[in-house]
Amino acid sequence: MKLLVYSAQDFEIPFLKKANSARYKVKYIPDALDTNTAIKAVGFEAISIFSGDDACLVVLEKLRDLGIKYITLRSAGYNNIQIKAAKRFGLKVANAPDYSPNAIAEHTVALLLSLNRKIFLADRQIRTYNFEQKKLMGFDLVNKTFGIIGTGRIGSVLVKIMNGFGCKILAHDLLPNKKLVERYGVEYVELERLYKQSDVISINVPLTRETHYMVSEEAFTLMKPGVLIINTARGAIVDTKALIMALMGKKIAGYAADVYEKEKGIFFKDNSDQGIMDENLINLLSFENVLITPHQAYVTQEALTNIAEITFDNLDRWVKGETCRNELGYETLVL
């Protein structure tokens, strides 16, 4: 079987080649999947895509017509693919749901510490030989209330880490985890209470119709003025325009994210020469209390190894006619 890997990054290709072990014929291209690049899948039976690729209805129809049978995502999130359309076109789709919860959770903590203790600001100052401390005030995490929206694989790891910091942990999830309650004293609450009482809020839910713009203008009005918000899930869970207004009005103390609402055409590429045209992102980056990283939480040796192995295991299952445990349930509604 021939596999086309879209959005192939130079640093991940060695991991994919090792996991493949030459059993499939694989072509790696840096192009993201969209209506224009779908044609590149001619002659292939399977494709692999990343979170920045566009697998909308029109693209999926083109892929079906080109003979594609299988789509394996190199990500846990799958809001960029229309699952119902894939089902209708007879395409099998699988993701990589548990490649490394630790990588994402640890990056969440790295963002929090850098935002809270102004590490990124201090670094900028030091590089211009400014050794003042007046803009570098943070707070101790011990005894603070840490709110986690979503306690799945990543959220559960985050609970363990923040418990180690001595935080009181509030959580919101459709399916409360009893083990987290028993082991770490997690208290599951409604979103309104979590917003009102948390000193730090971490977003760890997938992007669905229900979570789109979950963190809205109304949510910001409920939060503590000194709250820090960390988002390593998906950008569109936060209403960017409402976020900018909340930052301008000092309704929140800071925002750190590894994701952005409109990453397509900006993330995963070097824009340093031509710049960017997204006014909302430009505005966000103008705030000293905003920290954005380029969707890098998954970039660890362990995570890339697991993603590669899961990618080819999904293909193996399909080729052998076996059940693929990562095949996405088509009853799920995603954007």
Active site residue ranges: 234, 263, 295
Rounded to whole angstroms, the Cα distance separating 51 from 216 reads 23
Let me know: does 78 contact 53? Beta carbons within 8 Å.
no
Concatenated DSSP letters of 204-241: -----TTTTT-B-HHHHHHS-TT-EEEE-S-GGGB-HH
Question: 260 near 281, Cβ under 8 Å?
Answer: yes
- The candidate with the shortest Cα–Cα distance to 161, out of 223, 191, 98, 204, is 204
**CA distances (Å), 220 to each of 47, 191, 206, 258, 283, in order?**
40, 12, 20, 20, 18
Which residue reads 């005894």 in tokens? 143
